[in-house]
A and B are shown apart, each in its own frame.
Chain A
Amino acid sequence: MSLYQLQKFLYVLNREPAAQRRYRDDLDGLIADYELTDEEARALRDGDIGLLYVLGVNGQILMHYAAFLGIAWFDYLDFMREGIERHGPVRAGVYAMTGGGASFTEEEGAR
């Protein structure tokens, strides 16, 4: 578990255009710059929002990564819900403080 490194990857990606170019051109090289577990590296390689949420990535970081991947808002919320169903409660970070991030609110039924 290296949530710090995983979140740092996304923090840098969210704010650095050079990292965004490298994400498109050399994702494996970019991933290799961080000390990540195989599961974390796989989540990034697959753009797996649900797994990243379960691994503990803060939504304030994850939301921008999802936007970068072109994922629509309600799909982003659904991916996190599916992640919980598939992998169980959030394992680390703020959302593991209580409840494990497994509580869902239907957002205004707007879809």
Chain B
Amino acid sequence: MSLVYAGVLSHAPGITGRADLVKNVARRDEFYRMLDHQREEIEASGAEALVVIAAEHFANFFMNNMPAFCIGMSDAYEGPIEDPGWLKIARTRVPGNADLSKRVITAVMQTVDCAYAEEWKFDHGIMVPLHFLTPRYDMAVIPANINCQGPPLTPLARAWAFGEALRRACDAQPEKIALVGTGGISHWPATPDSGKINEAWDREFLDHLMAQDRDALMRYDDDVQTYRDAGQGGFEIRTYLAAAAAAGGPGELQYYTAELPIFAVGCTVARFAID
């Protein structure tokens, strides 16, 4: 039928893996409740499949053959690739929909050159969102990746075009499809600066994102500047841009906190009107 839901949410291994180390338990539980609310909104949309625009972390894609974009095309995926005890998410099979994937990929390819993959091991970047959004693993997932890790990175304008292409592709299918972008905003994951968050930078970026201010968002396209202000994790804004571009309508920031540094990311939940 069409795209019926679009939103964004944070991912980070600490969100599940270091849940017990949180000092501000009230904040943590508030964030978890907002993720649960996002799940309810996706369920209420009647979605039959969930596109997850991710920023995977060298689980499948490496510098030997790094795609700017890739979409999964399988009836099943596995994850997490990380030690399940470390991530505190059990290893499982996640359902996909190869036929729907193929139709989406074929449509996206009309305007954006996109790789596809019939094998994909999900890392925390997809498993943490699914842990909250489809906890019973009962909705078909279509993973879509943007290179946010190995420079040269996918340019922001291309990430935006990818989102628009995904929108056209979803609207051309008979199924109801939900889409989330999952990234971080500013953060310094897995480094000695883990836990650092540039809240002012995050809030300004989110203002532009919620306003669908494409011109302002394109000004984040200097990776050295982004690294300086927002860390390596800031490169993952590409997934948020793609989700906004797919939605087309104004965003509503439903949750943001910088008060959970043990999660090593400003924790965000937002949705967009489909326009």
Binding site for B on A (CB under 8 A): 4, 7-8, 11, 14-15, 53, 58-64, 67-68, 73, 77, 80-81, 84, 94-95, 97-99, 101, 103-108, 110
Beta-carbon contact of A95 and B232 below 8 Å: yes
Query: Across the interface, which residues of B come within 8 angstroms of A64, CB to CB?
Result: 81-83
Query: Across the interface, which residues of A come within 8 angstroms of B18, CB to CB?
Result: 73
Chain B: how many interface residues by the 8 Å CB criterion? 35
Q: A97-B224, A97-B227, A108-B23 are in contact. Are A80 and B191 (CB under 8 A)?
A: yes
- B62 in the interface (beta carbon within 8 A): yes
Complex CA distance for A110 and B227, rounded to whole angstroms:
26
Binding site for A on B (CB under 8 A): 13, 18, 21, 23, 57-60, 62-64, 81-83, 86, 121, 149, 151, 188-196, 223-224, 227-228, 232, 261-262, 264
Contact of A63 among B188, B190, B228 (CB under 8 A): B190
Beta-carbon contact of A104 and B193 below 8 Å: yes
Complex CA distance for A67 and B84, rounded to whole angstroms:
10
Complex CA distance for A60 and B192, rounded to whole angstroms:
12
Beta-carbon contact of B224 and A77 below 8 Å: no
Q: A94-B232, A105-B192, A105-B196 are in contact. Are A110 and B224 (CB under 8 A)?
A: no
Beta-carbon contact of B23 and A110 below 8 Å: yes
Beta-carbon contact of B63 and A105 below 8 Å: no
Give chain B nearest CB distance to A58 CB in angstroms. 7
Contact of A107 among B86, B228, B261 (CB under 8 A): B261
Give chain A nearest CB distance to B67 CB in angstroms. 15
Among residues of B, the one whose C-beta sits closest to the C-beta of A82 is: B192
Contact of A15 among B13, B21, B86, B121 (CB under 8 A): B121
Beta-carbon contact of B192 and A81 below 8 Å: yes
Beta-carbon contact of B195 and A107 below 8 Å: yes
**A80, A105, A106: which has the most chain B beta carbons within 10 Å?**
A105
Beta-carbon contact of B192 and A110 below 8 Å: no
Among residues of A, the one whose C-beta sits closest to the C-beta of B17 is: A73
Give chain A nearest CB distance to B229 CB in angstroms. 10
Beta-carbon contact of A84 and B192 below 8 Å: yes
Give chain A nearest CB distance to B15 CB in angstroms. 13
Give chain A nearest CB distance to B182 CB in angstroms. 15
Query: Across the interface, which residues of A come within 8 angstroms of B189, CB to CB?
Result: 59-60, 63
Beta-carbon contact of A110 and B64 below 8 Å: no
- The 8 A-B pairs of least Cβ separation, nearest first, read A59-B190, A107-B195, A60-B57, A105-B196, A63-B190, A67-B86, A104-B192, A105-B193
Complex CA distance for A97 and B264, rounded to whole angstroms:
21
Query: Across the interface, which residues of A come within 8 angstroms of B224, CB to CB?
Result: 97-98
Query: Across the interface, which residues of A come within 8 angstroms of B262, CB to CB?
Result: 107-108, 110
Among residues of B, the one whose C-beta sits closest to the C-beta of A66 is: B190
Beta-carbon contact of B193 and A103 below 8 Å: yes
Beta-carbon contact of A62 and B190 below 8 Å: yes
Among residues of A, the one whose C-beta sits closest to the C-beta of B224 is: A97
Q: A4-B63, A15-B81 are in contact. Are A105 and B188 (CB under 8 A)?
A: yes
Beta-carbon contact of B261 and A60 below 8 Å: no
Complex CA distance for A38 and B192, rounded to whole angstroms:
25
Beta-carbon contact of A68 and B190 below 8 Å: no
Beta-carbon contact of B191 and A59 below 8 Å: yes
Query: Across the interface, which residues of B come within 8 angstroms of A7, CB to CB?
Result: 58, 62-63
Among residues of A, the one whose C-beta sits closest to the C-beta of B235 is: A94
Contact of B58 among A61, A68, A103 (CB under 8 A): A61
Among residues of B, the one whose C-beta sits closest to the C-beta of A63 is: B190
Complex CA distance for A105 and B190, rounded to whole angstroms:
12
Show 12 residue pairs from A and B whose CB-CB distance is below 8 angstroms, ordered by the A residue.
A7-B63, A8-B63, A8-B64, A11-B58, A14-B59, A64-B82, A67-B83, A73-B18, A77-B192, A94-B227, A105-B261, A108-B195
